[in-house]
């Protein structure tokens, strides 16, 4: 008889193994980060990140019915005894308050140590995603427990005009917008996305396409900020400064086919505004970033180089502090520009 035979008497002899940590992200990133999708809409956005190599992605939901097809269960966190909440955001907040430990335990066991959390939630549908900010304390405790050097950035969608015809959806979206306003956040305007993609993508594939495009855009910012540039680098500290700017963050991108445009700065700025899924910025942002990706031929052209410098100055005059990076790559469809503005009302 063993001194510890009493333990074996309380169950079968098969050892129950703890949940394994998720694989490291395949994407190259200057930041150690994870993606958390809350609710149905947030889960669909999170799947787009998962599909391009953000392996440290979790989908949190109150019902398995809203988990997108093709997501492995190791990425799923289901709240027990809650089969959906029927678009009731107050019930969602109550359920998260009662089950915060479930989510926190999943973060610790599945994510390991990361510095940044990108929390995605849809404001154009049910109550689970609209209640996501009630988990903020859970996210903070997790980051503190792993001595994280980063913070939390929310990405929320707002309803399209058609979705907004439902008064409950409008109310939930307004609740989420109010809750997230005090934190660093990005708003994706579903109505703007519909207008940008109408006639180019069918109804069935519109939001999956938009989710993938946004995931790739964020992925490029994280990737470029990890790379050295022989011209001008936008590094991880620059990115962290932008992400740590509270309030709203705008992000947009464009491709300029004529880099010799004498008004290159205005062209980049206006096209990034026009083609962004985010609501237009209001007021002067506290910080901003502009990432320019050019070919070697462009970088060696004196005229284009002069226009690039002028473009950085043009955008810099529209922010209190601008962080810029210029990167050389080949096989580009044109001059690629990514613009962010942070600390917006």
Fold of 248-344: 60s Ribosomal Protein L30; Chain: A; (3.30.1330)
Tell me the C-alpha distance between 276 and 290, whole Å.
14
Q: Selecting from 3.40.47.10, 3.40.50.740, 3.40.50.1440, 3.60.21.10, what CATH number does the domain 33-221 have?
A: 3.40.50.1440
Q: What is the pLDDT of residue 110?
A: 97
CA nearest 192: which of 127, 121, 266, 252? Answer: 252
Tell me the C-alpha distance between 196 and 312, whole Å.
26
Which range is least confidently modeled, 159-163, 199-203, 237-241, 313-317? 159-163
CA nearest 268: which of 280, 258, 283? Answer: 258
Rounded to 5°, the CA angle 9-12-15 comes to 110
pLDDT band at 16 (very low <50, low <70, confident <90, very high): very low
pLDDT band at 86 (very low <50, low <70, confident <90, very high): confident
By percentage, how much of the chain surpasses pLDDT 90? Answer: 83
CB distance 56 to 24 below 8 Å:
yes
**Cα-Cα-Cα-Cα dihedral sign, residues 265, 267, 268, 270:** positive
Indicate the pTM of the whole model. 0.93
pLDDT at 42 over 60: yes
Maximum C-alpha span of the chain: 87
Tell me the C-alpha distance between 192 and 278, whole Å.
7
What does the domain layout of the chain look like in residue ranges?
33-221, 248-344
Query: If you average pLDDT over residues 215-232, what whole number do you get?
Result: 97
Encoding tokens for residue 113? 């140590």
Within this chain, domains 33-221 and 248-344 share the same CATH topology: no
CA nearest 299: which of 325, 323, 278? Answer: 325
Q: What is the pLDDT of residue 5?
A: 61
pLDDT, averaged across the chain: 93
pLDDT at 17 over 50: no
pLDDT band at 4 (very low <50, low <70, confident <90, very high): low
Contacts of 282 (CB under 8 A, 6+ apart): 344, 345
> What's the 3-state SS for the chain?
CCCCHHHHCCCCCCCCCCCCCCCCCCCCCCCCEEEEEEHHHHHHHHHHHHHCCCCCEEEEECCHHHCCCCCCHHHEEECCCCCCCCCCHHHHHHHHHHCHHHHHHHHHHHHCCCCEEEEEEECCCCHHHHCHHHHHHHHHHHHHHCCCCCCEEEEEEECCCCHHHCHHHHHHHHHHHHHHCCCCEEEEEHHHHHHHHCCCCCHHHHHHHHHHHHHHHHHHHHHHCCCCCCCECCCHHHHHHHHCCCCEEEEEEEEECCCCCCCHHHHHHHHHHHCCCCCCCCCCCCEEEEEEEECHHHHHCHHHHHHHHHHHHHHHCCCCEEEEEEEECCCCCCEEEEEEEEEEC
pLDDT at 151 over 90: yes
Query: If you average pLDDT over residues 314-322, what whole number do you get?
Result: 96
Tell me the C-alpha distance between 211 and 44, whole Å.
8
Using CA atoms, how far residue 18 sits from 7, 74, 109, 146, 196, in Å, is 18, 12, 8, 19, 45
Tell me the C-alpha distance between 136 and 116, whole Å.
13
pLDDT at 95 over 80: yes
């Amino acid at each position: 008889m063993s001194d510890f035979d009493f333990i074996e008497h309380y169950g079968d002899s098969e050892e129950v193994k703890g949940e394994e940590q998720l694989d490291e992200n395949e994407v190259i990133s200057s930041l150690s980060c994870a993606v958390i999708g809350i609710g149905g809409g947030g889960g669909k956005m999170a799947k787009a990140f998962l599909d391009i190599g953000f392996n440290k992605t979790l989908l949190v939901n109150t019902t398995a019915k809203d988990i997108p097809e093709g997501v492995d269960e190791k990425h799923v966190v289901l709240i027990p005894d809650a089969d959906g909440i029927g678009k009731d955001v107050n019930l969602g907040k109550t359920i998260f308050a009662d089950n915060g430990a479930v989510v926190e335990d999943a973060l610790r066991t599945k994510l390991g140590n990361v510095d940044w959390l990108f929390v995605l939630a849809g404001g154009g549908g049910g109550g689970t995603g609209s209640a996501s900010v009630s988990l903020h304390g859970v996210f903070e405790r997790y980051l503190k427990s792993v001595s994280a050097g980063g913070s939390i950035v929310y990405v929320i969608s707002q309803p399209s005009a058609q979705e907004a015809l439902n008064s409950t959806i409008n109310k939930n979206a307004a609740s989420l917008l109010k809750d997230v306003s005090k934190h660093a956040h990005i708003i994706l305007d579903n109505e703007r996305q519909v207008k940008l993609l109408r006639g180019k993508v069918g109804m069935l594939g519109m939001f999956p396409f938009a989710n993938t495009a946004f995931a790739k855009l964020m992925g490029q910012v994280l990737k470029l900020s990890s790379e050295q540039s022989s011209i001008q680098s936008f590094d991880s500290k620059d990115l962290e400064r932008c992400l740590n700017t509270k309030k709203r963050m705008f992000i947009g991108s464009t491709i300029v086919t004529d880099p010799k445009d004498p008004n290159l700065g205005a062209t980049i700025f206006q096209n990034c505004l026009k083609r962004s899924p985010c609501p237009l910025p209001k007021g002067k942002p506290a910080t901003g970033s502009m990432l320019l990706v050019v070919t070697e031929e462009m970088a060696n052209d004196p005229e284009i180089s002069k226009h690039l410098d002028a473009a950085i100055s043009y955008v810099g005059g529209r922010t209190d502090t601008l962080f810029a990076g210029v990167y050389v790559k080949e096989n580009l469809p044109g001059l690629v520009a990514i613009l962010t503005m942070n600390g917006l009302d």
